[in-house]
Amino acid sequence: MKKRLISSLTAASMAVGMLSLSSYSAGEPLDYSPNGHIDVFDMIAARRSGASGAELKTLHEFLMGRGNGLPVSTDHTLDESLILEPMGTVHTGEGTFYGGGYEGGCASLDPVSRDYWIVAMNLADYNEGQLAGAYIEVTGELGTIKMLVTDLLPEGKKGDLDLYTDAFPLIAPVEKGRVPVSWHIIPLDTAENAPVCYKYKEGTTQYWCGIQVRNHRYPITRLEYLDKNGEWVEIPRTRYNYFISDKMGAGPFTFRITDIYGRQVIDRDIPLSTDDTEIIQGHVQLPE
């Protein structure tokens, strides 16, 4: 995906980072998203909804921290060109069930903790691995459950999910077999108290490297490393949820991680490992 320049209004907002204000709640005048915070996503939503010039100016000045007396965070940046969908987007489709997925899923997340219900996702929404490892909330006629995307449903239409067999009865009667469902992406609960981590693929050396990001708060759309010239280099992604490169070298690495909402964090001093069973702890986590 080719990066483009961000508009001047969003760039100005990006310069001051993500502003999160507990004094505002969803539905307030400036909360265009709405997500309960006043941040750069409100600028994007306001522009897309056709807000007036005066409204955009008010929001822009608020994001710049003028007149509100509140501190501004500069911990994170945002690349609007990489936003996959607005936060909170609700998807609809059909839900079915299957008996596999805790081992050998397309997202290559073995071993998957039994603490999570698992689900396979249709090709369109899985999007060549962008939603691999996504944490989603799935709703059916009997209730709502949280699930981890670990596998692929090749025959499914956009919006369709294939739930683990023991999870399906929690959202619909088993005898129905195929039911309407809705779902949306939510933050991974284990990310609250832990940084992202990394797993290298079998066969990794300083000459060829496969690396996977895990425990990310939201799904990952891009992984880059800082080369010896101080330039960010994007690492190509595979459908099976590894980023592959033959140019990274022996490490340690500085990574830039971008989630599907365009937010970026930088993680430094990540060592190379040839042990494909080792989980390497990072030092950062994506913002809420």
Tokens at residue 242, please?
């590894």
Task: Give the separation between CA 110 and CA 241, rounded to whole angstroms.
Answer: 12
For residue 9, count other CB atoms closer than 10 A to its CB: 18
Place 50 in a pLDDT band, splitting at 50, 70 and 90. confident
What would the 3-class secondary structure string for 169-207 be?
HHCCCHHHCCEEEEEEEECCHHHHHCCCEEEECCCCCCC
Pairing mode, if any, of strands 263-270 and 279-281? unpaired
For residue 213, count other CB atoms closer than 10 A to its CB: 23
Does the pLDDT at position 69 exceed 80?
Answer: no
DSSP code of residue 12: H
Task: Give the separation between CA 197 and CA 216, rounded to whole angstroms.
Answer: 8
pLDDT of residue 76: 59
Place 5 in a pLDDT band, splitting at 50, 70 and 90. very low
pLDDT of residue 144: 97
CA separation, residue 65 to residues 8, 36, 37, 111 (Å): 17, 18, 14, 45
* Arithmetic mean of pLDDT over the chain: 83
Task: Give the separation between CA 288 and CA 286, rounded to whole angstroms.
Answer: 7
Q: Which residues contact 140 (CB under 8 A, 6 or more apart)?
A: 95, 171, 172, 179, 180, 181
**Contact assessment for residue 245 and residue 227, using Cβ atoms and an 8 Å cutoff:** no
CATH number of 193-281: 2.60.40.760
Please give the model's pTM, rounded to 2 decimal places.
Answer: 0.73
Place 37 in a pLDDT band, splitting at 50, 70 and 90. low
Tokens at residue 100, please?
């596999």
pLDDT: which is higher, 22 or 257: 257
Location of each CATH 2.40.40.10 domain in the chain: 91-186
pLDDT of residue 46: 76
Does the pLDDT at position 20 exceed 80?
Answer: no
pLDDT of residue 3: 35
* Angle, CA 134 vertex, CA 93 and CA 234 arms, to 5°: 120
Location of each CATH 2.60.40.760 domain in the chain: 193-281
Place 19 in a pLDDT band, splitting at 50, 70 and 90. very low
* Angle, CA 19 vertex, CA 18 and CA 21 arms, to 5°: 145
CA separation, residue 276 to residues 89, 125, 211, 280 (Å): 35, 28, 10, 10
Over the stretch 79-137, which tens digit does the pLDDT of each residue have? 788 888 888 999 999 999 998 778 889 999 998 888 999 999 999 999 999 999 999 99
Does the pLDDT at position 218 exceed 90?
Answer: yes
| CATH number 3.40.50.300 given to 91-186 | no
pLDDT of residue 52: 79
Pick from 188, 245, 251: nearest CA to 212: 245
pLDDT of residue 29: 66
Collapsed DSSP state (helix, strand, coil) of residue 39: coil
CA separation, residue 49 to residues 13, 42, 44, 241, 261 (Å): 18, 10, 9, 34, 18
pLDDT: which is higher, 59 or 132: 132
Tokens at residue 20, please?
């999160």
pLDDT: which is higher, 15 or 224: 224
Task: Give the separation between CA 175 and CA 163, rounded to whole angstroms.
Answer: 14
Task: Give the separation between CA 284 and CA 286, rounded to whole angstroms.
Answer: 7
